[in-house]
Structure 1
Amino acid sequence: MASRLLHRLRHALALTGEGPGEVVPGPEAEEFPESSELEEDDTEGLSTRLSGTLSFTSTEDDEDEEEEEENADPLGSGAALGRRLKNPGEDGAGEDGDRNPSSDGPRSSNLLTRQLQDFWKKSKSNLVPQRLHFEVTSANVINEPPSKYVLYTIALIGPGPQEHTPAQISRRYSDFERLHRQLRQQFRGPMAAVSFPRKRLRRNFTAETIARRSRAFEQFLGHLQAVPELRQAPDLQDFFILPELRQAQRLTCTGLYQEALRLWTNAWRLQIQLGTTVDTHRTLLTLVGLAVCHQELEQPSEARLSCEQALQMLGTSDSHPLLGPFLEAHVRLSWRLGIDKRQSEAQLQALQEAGLTPTPPPSLKELLIREALD
């Protein structure tokens, strides 16, 4: 293409009586050698304005450029950008016909770069919020004859600063493998793209194998959490929550309240991190465990707070079997702390008069002991 244009240019010069040797390259020809071959091409202005290198990390700002940037199109890709990419042949000769492209080119190129920078920064601010991050914090070889396995501890780290210790779970390879098998049976399509580390007959306890599986489990859980259909799967929720609730319930029933409180607290944080507090039954059961352990450990303020959270969740569900026990505990704890209890007392009396809860209602501890977790 360039050779044809050069041939046409030389032919035109020969017809006007000017020799090819009289053509003196201007400043733009020295800076952009290709412009000497494209002098009569309609894209001269475009090629001149787009010359240069785009950089999203540039910090060089000209005062004149800053003034133009303030009056530019805020989107960086609208009419202002369109005017800078406009074909010079479409404007009047009085405006652009006498303009020197070489003097306007660098300035327009820098302004175009600035606009692309702003557009890129704006697009970054519109990205999807960061998802939950999974990190294997430890992997311990457990030797319990006749079995021997690796127990992986995974921390759930949410976006933003962490106000509390991250929620965490401890699972072994067989737990992950069971979850993978269950999800593949129910979600063949979404699970087709999810990778999972295979079983090994040997070298299961080497540092290399443990490290590789740790990274694989992080990616596996991250992939499941990224797909909405998989994220809401009951089997995945059971994988995270159910073992913690069962162990916390056992410890509470045996009177090990301090150890149980740690597990109830971790289960509560797990549900918040995973966004599963919509599962009212398990969330309320967790608040029952927290209230019971705080009461047994002589922490009435914390126990009352757990009851208040449960009452807010229950709202006007007068027929819910846990409403009466939570109200009764809230009244008793408020009286102990010297806090006004008349509203909860009146609501509890109304439930008893309507026959919706026995008099007196069962205690939260009794309900927790009788609860069958499945």
Structure 2
Amino acid sequence: MASRILHRLRHALAGEGAREEPACSTAEAEDFPESSELEDDTEGLSTRLSGTLSFTSHEEEEEEEEEEEDGAGEELGELPEPPGEAVGAEDGGRCREPAGGGGGSLLTRQLQELWRKSRSSLTPQRLLFEVTSASVVSERSSKYVLYTIYLIRSGRFDKAPATIARRYSDFERLNRRLRCRFGCDMAGIAFPRKRLRRNFTAETIAKRSRAFEQFLSHLHSIAEIRRSPEFLEFFFLQDLRAAQRLTCTGMYREALATWANAYRLQDRLGVCGSGRFLLTLAGLAVCHQELDQLGEAHGCCEQALQLLEAQDSHPLLGPFLQAHIHLAWKVGKDKRQSEARLQDLQEAGLPLQQQPTLKECLIKEALD
């Protein structure tokens, strides 16, 4: 009996071991290889996504593929797969162009160049007015604060900024003139009031500086006002008068700096086609010529003649043509077009012998 029970127990143990061994091998066959494949694929995917992001064109893609076959591609970082495209093991995870597509993406250099060109058009340009300094000036029986203001175009760096220096009475005169002409538009524009005392304290000067910045910005935001002679002459008429006096007295170097600032002011304000601007170019040409800077003088005449291209009756046209022909001969530039135009004016009845020089035009011009 005992031997029979022992025999059955051995058969039972042997049967359970035989049934468990296939189950264990099946689990290893189903679970372990799948786990190993997942780990390998994960490792390969992380390798394919590593590297430096770069942009390649369609023409360069074929060359890079040949380099990869030679083993050179291992040194280059590869692109991650774009959305919607599977990463295939046969191409090493490279970003392929879809079938039937046109050219590839732009080079990084091309994208940067495109961004630089489009940046100015994407960024709205705005003229800013900034009081950079204020100083107390004492003159005989008067005392006042002189405010220095920079005209700055937003989004751009000006190596030589346009500047003005004005006192409270200048701002008050501008405010009074504009309110007489643009009463409705000026109704909502605040202006700092006069004070009977404490006009020269740091607190008052600082508050007025900010108030003048806001005052000019508000005026410039109204199209009718910023195009008005009252507003424009507030900025550059003083410089034009000072430059004219310096030119007439032969102080050409000082006059040149003043003409140049008047040029920048008119450029910032967007009035580069007005008669004042042509007079400014004439002043620059005369001072450059007197200082023996003939190339710069020739460039000023060329710019003026471009502005006068469609005008045959402007009083400065003849003087500019004569000056341009003379300077072109001096610096070795082409003067045939100016000579032909001057000949046409002469045939139309313009008395060339009676034409004043640019310097004479500057002296005779009345800057009211």
TM bucket, shorter chain = 0.5 to 0.7
Please say if residues 132 and 273 of structure 1, whose CA atoms lie closer than 8 Å, have aligned partners that are also in contact: yes
Residue number among 309, 320, 327 corresponding to 1:315 in the alignment: 309
Deviation >3 Å, runs of 4+: 125-128
Q: 2:345 is matched with which residue?
A: 351
Q: 1:269 is matched with which residue?
A: 264
Residue number among 207, 210, 215 corresponding to 2:210 in the alignment: 215
Q: Residues 366 and 196 (structure 1 numbering): CA distance in 2 closer, same or farther, change over 3 Å?
A: same
Q: Which letter maps to 1:164?
A: K
* Matching of residues 155-304 of structure 1 within 5 Å: 155-278=150-273, 280-304=274-298
Please say if residues 328 and 361 of structure 1, whose CA atoms lie closer than 8 Å, have aligned partners that are also in contact: no
Give the match's secondary structure for 1:359: helix
* Matching of residues 16-165 of structure 1 within 5 Å: 129-165=124-160
Post-superposition Cα deviations, 1:143-198, rounded to whole Å, max 9, x if no partner, equal 00111111101000002222431101110000001111111111122111111111
Aligned-pair distance for 1:359? Answer: 2.0
Post-superposition Cα deviations, 1:57-113, rounded to whole Å, max 9, x if no partner, equal xxxxxx9xx76xxxxxxxxxxxxxxxxxxxxxxxxxxxxxxxxxxxxxxxxxxxxxx
Q: Which letter maps to 1:206?
A: T
Q: Taking structure 2 as the reference length, what is the TM-score of the superposition?
A: 0.66
How many residue pairs align between the two structures?
A: 255
Q: Which letter maps to 1:216?
A: A
Rg comparison, structure with higher value: 2
Q: 1:367 is matched with which residue?
A: 361
Q: Which letter maps to 1:259?
A: E
Q: Taking structure 1 as the reference length, what is the TM-score of the superposition?
A: 0.65
Instruction: Please give the alpha-carbon distance, in whole angstroms, between the structure 1 residues aligned to 2:165 and 2:280.
Output: 19
Structure 2 segments unaligned to the other structure (5+ residues): 1-79, 85-119
Please say if residues 136 and 146 of structure 2, whose CA atoms lie closer than 8 Å, have aligned partners that are also in contact: yes
Aligned-pair distance for 1:127? Answer: 8.8
Instruction: Please give the alpha-carbon distance, in whole angstroms, between the structure 1 residues aligned to 2:171 and 2:353.
Output: 46
Instruction: Please give the alpha-carbon distance, in whole angstroms, between the structure 2 residues aligned to 1:229 and 1:284.
Output: 23
Instruction: Please give the alpha-carbon distance, in whole angstroms, between the structure 1 residues aligned to 2:250 and 2:353.
Output: 26
Q: Residues 128 and 179 (structure 1 numbering): CA distance in 2 closer, same or farther, change over 3 Å?
A: farther
Q: 2:300 is matched with which residue?
A: 306
**Identical positions, percent:** 64
Structure 1 segments unaligned to the other structure (5+ residues): 1-62, 68-124
Instruction: Please give the alpha-carbon distance, in whole angstroms, between the structure 2 residues aligned to 1:343 and 1:187.
Output: 45
Give the match's secondary structure for 1:372: coil
Please say if residues 139 and 150 of structure 1, whose CA atoms lie closer than 8 Å, have aligned partners that are also in contact: yes
Q: Residues 337 and 129 (structure 1 numbering): CA distance in 2 closer, same or farther, change over 3 Å?
A: same
Q: Which letter maps to 1:337?
A: V
Post-superposition Cα deviations, 1:1-29, rounded to whole Å, max 9, x if no partner, equal xxxxxxxxxxxxxxxxxxxxxxxxxxxxx
Q: Which letter maps to 1:178?
A: R
Instruction: Please give the alpha-carbon distance, in whole angstroms, between the structure 2 residues aligned to 1:327 and 1:156.
Output: 33
Please say if residues 352 and 359 of structure 1, whose CA atoms lie closer than 8 Å, have aligned partners that are also in contact: no
Give the match's secondary structure for 2:352: coil
Aligned-pair distance for 1:357? Answer: 3.8
Aligned-pair distance for 1:202? Answer: 0.5
Aligned-pair distance for 1:222? Answer: 0.6
